[in-house]
Structure 1
Amino acid sequence: MKFAIFGIVAALSTSFATASTLYAASYGGSLYSLAFNKANGSLSTLEKSQDCGTSPSWLMLDQPHGILYCLNEAIDTANGSITSFQAFANGSLDTIEKLTTPAGLVMSAIYTAAGVKDSGFFAVAHYETSTVTTYAVDRAKGEFQNLQTFTFEMSHPGPNTTRQDAPHPHGVFVDPTGKFVLVPDLGTDLVRIFAIDPSTGYLEPVEPYHATPGSGPRHLTFWTPKTYNATTSDVYMFLVHELTNVVSGFRVGYTNGGMSFDRFFHGTSYGNYTAPSSSKVAEIKVSPDNNRLVISNRLDNTFGSNNDSIAIFDIADKNGERFTGVRFVGLYPAFGSSVRHFDIGGCPQELAVSLENSQKVGVIQWNMRNGEPGRLLAELTLDGDVPAAIWAK
């Protein structure tokens, strides 16, 4: 097993080339706009807003329109909320609209409908209230309204009775064709699938994918060649299961208004080695070069006390144009505890990590030549647990 220890851009003063903007959510009740300056290795606060709510949990940036959406999970309260902000290049945030929702919001994604012009939509997963909601949005203005509410039930608990006591939608993802929305449900061991009505933007449930009982699907990502278009058959999906620390890979097919999944890979997020009993896999994404899977492992302490890991897998040739199978590369330090979410971006590209239990945002070097994380460049402690951090670009 290989362990490698090092292995909207803002024009801030005159350091345009080395400064980037980050947004971070804190369970302390704050939404942060942060400036990362690579030249001096600093991460500092540009603005701090309490307009998101008591438990900011997820951030969604509509970059072409400069609109930031903040989800309020509303832990231990009856209702959650979604707030939209105008995000300016200098890091400032102006509140646009706030809408009350069911509690438990943990992730969202924007989607479109081919027959609906000059508008857009987004869907939200509500973990605690077993719900998925959808919204119509004026993307230029950041104004939105509720369209649909799906509330799910189950007849009995799943194999993990503590975590699978009810349906728990945990993520929202749009497939590469733009015709389907997928929602991993940790409580029911399903990936719920919704077809997008092209004339209205409404979602229609279709046959879900049934994961291994007790595995707890959490997040997923798709891989397609860089040359992919909607007529290309090369679509692959990778799914992480929180309760078993398993990563599954599938060849995706499309038939009769739904999706099919042919599984070809099934192993742990530790390269088929046994995962530590305390570990919980969290996030999965494809690297900027389109040739590697990047996966975060929480609470494993692989690199010492309160220093969890990031796993890297090869999946394609170095040009990201041909799928070559799944090969474990190694584990790299996250430089904090419970790396719940990460994002690769900035200028140049770096890895931003939300270190939930450490109550920090970290910026880690991303080696574009090798496709691996490197040393810690900067970190900043916020006012509570940190569930999400994203780059403005």
Structure 2
Amino acid sequence: MNDNTSLFYAGTYTREDEPGIFLCALDLGSGRMEIVNRTDGIANSSFLAVNKAQDRLYAVSETDEGEVFAYAVDAETSGLHLLNRQPTRGAAPCYISLSRDERHVLVANYTSGHVNAYRIENNGELAPSGLVQHKGSSVNRERQEGAHPHSIFQDPDGKYTLVCDLGLDEIVFYRLEEGKLVSHHAVKTAPGAGPRHFDFHPSGRWAYGINELDDTVNVYEFDAQTGDLNILQTLSALPEGAARGSASADIHVTPCGRFLYASNRSEDSIGLYHIHPSTGMLTAVEWVSTNGKTPRNFAIFKGGYLLAANQNSNTIVSFRIDKESGRLTPTGYELEVPKPVCILPIRK
């Protein structure tokens, strides 16, 4: 491994007896990618999280009987060794993250409508510590017949735990107290929006959410003291004239805080927005094809690259990020990976 290479893990929709988590390398000079290692024994490893020391990796198994897996990361090879696995007591866990203090792992179960907290033991293994069942519905009778938590994560200070619940049209705030998720507050989105993923601006002043069902992006002012969000702006996640597809997926802000990207699976593209430096408001700039089908998750690398996971064309495609404009240019390289749905950069 040299200074011009960045490693990343890719989570996939594969069977338990197939390779499911792929360790890959990105050449920061060219954008070329290659597979370094493979891990099997986990079905549908659709979302991954790694600790700051990068010696522990956690993954959900998005199945009807959901599970969460804990792995030790080999210091030399970055290969994975299973530590333990725990049931989520629900169905289709689709998101996992670590608390800011790295004492707990947080999981969202889409189908069964509940969220989990797990205590991280000294050896990296997981032990259940909290579970909350969301209840309710919203206006879309087909997709919002019940609660559907789609992501769970903490604010930059680790004071609050937020859940985007697609089924309730809510961003639900909790306090994590001794491993228990204690209800704090809920912020409503527009009826039928379907909040899915979320990212904070590096300043901590603003936050951005992508809504799957109405294909929109929300700009929020974040109150870190009270744990609240105030919607400042709503924009389309699709280019003008595009048909709504209820398929907007992922959202990320660049580390410099100047650019925001949002993926949508109906148009197979990623949109670029410029962030106003004093207001946090967005201006739509362009949409770029991901050169594949059904871009789900994508990731930004500090070396000036964006990698998109094209689930239904079995490819990860790399793009250069123009440091002045944020515009994306395909490198010409793609990596064949079965049904990739999550990209997790390490050693950035």
Shift of 1:131: 1.0
Distance 2:27 2:192 in 1: 43
Q: Is the 8 A contact 1:86 1:95 kept in 2?
A: no
Q: Which has the higher contact order (CA 8 A, sep 6+)?
A: 1
Amino acid at match of 2:38: K
Question: Highest CA radius of gyration, 1 or 2?
Answer: 1
**Equivalent residues in 2 for 1:66-77 (5 A)?**
66-74=55-63, 77=64
**Equivalences for residues 157-306 of structure 1 within 5 A:** 157-197=137-177, 200-225=178-203, 235-253=205-223, 258-270=226-238, 273-278=240-245, 280-300=247-267
Structure 2 residue runs without a partner (length 5+): none
The match for 2:286 among 307, 330, 338 is: 330
Give % identity.
22
TM-score w.r.t. length of structure 1 = 0.81
Q: Is the 8 A contact 2:173 2:183 kept in 1?
A: yes
**CA contact 2:197–2:210 (8 Å) conserved in 1:** yes
- Distance in 2 between the 1:27 and 1:50 partners? 12
Q: Does the CA-based 8 Å contact 1:360-1:381 persist in structure 2? A: yes
Shift of 1:176: 2.4
8 A Cα contact 1:363 1:377, kept in partner: yes
Structure 1: how far apart are the matches of 2:272 and 2:51?
Answer: 28
Change (3 A) 1:122 1:161: same
Query: How far does residue 40 in structure 1 lie from its aligned partner after superposition?
Result: 6.3
Find the counterpart in structure 2 of residue 5 from structure 1. none
Q: How many Å separate the matches in 1 of 2:335 and 2:199?
A: 28
Q: Deviations over 1:52-101 (max 9, x none)?
A: x2211101111324211121101xx3343323231435342222222222
Distance 1:89 1:274 in 2: 50
User: Structure 1 residue 363 and structure 2 residue 318: aligned?
Assistant: yes
Is 2:344 aligned against 1:390?
Answer: yes
Q: Shift of residue 218 of structure 1?
A: 0.6
Return closer, same or farther for 1:78/1:111 CA change in 2, 3 Å cut-off.
closer
**1:37·1:43 contact (CA, 8 Å) conserved in 2?**
yes
**Letter aligned with residue 222 of structure 1:** F
Give the partner amino acid of 2:131. T
Whichever residue aligns with residue 285 of structure 2, its letter is V
SS of 1:32's equivalent in the other structure is strand
The total of aligned residue pairs comes to 342
Is this contact kept in 1: 2:202–2:256, CA < 8 A?
A: no
Separation of aligned partners in 2, 1:136 and 1:185? 23
Alpha-carbon separation, structure 1, partners of 2:335 and 2:167: 34
Matched residue SS, 1:172: strand
C-alpha change, 1:254 and 1:369, in structure 2 (3 Å) is closer
Between the aligned partners of 2:170 and 2:179, the Cα distance in structure 1 is 23
Aligned to 1:46: 36
- CA RMSD of the aligned region, Å? 2.2
Question: What SS does the corresponding residue of 2:214 show, helix, strand or coil?
Answer: coil
Q: Which runs of 4+ in 1 moved over 4 A?
A: 38-41
Residues in 2 aligned to 1:206 and 1:38: alpha-carbon distance in whole angstroms: 43
Q: Give, in whole Å, the separation in 1 of the partners of 2:7 and 2:46.
A: 19
Contact map agreement 2:74 2:80 (CA 8 A) in 1:
yes
TM-fit CA distance, 1:329: 1.4
Q: TM-score, normalised by structure 2?
A: 0.91
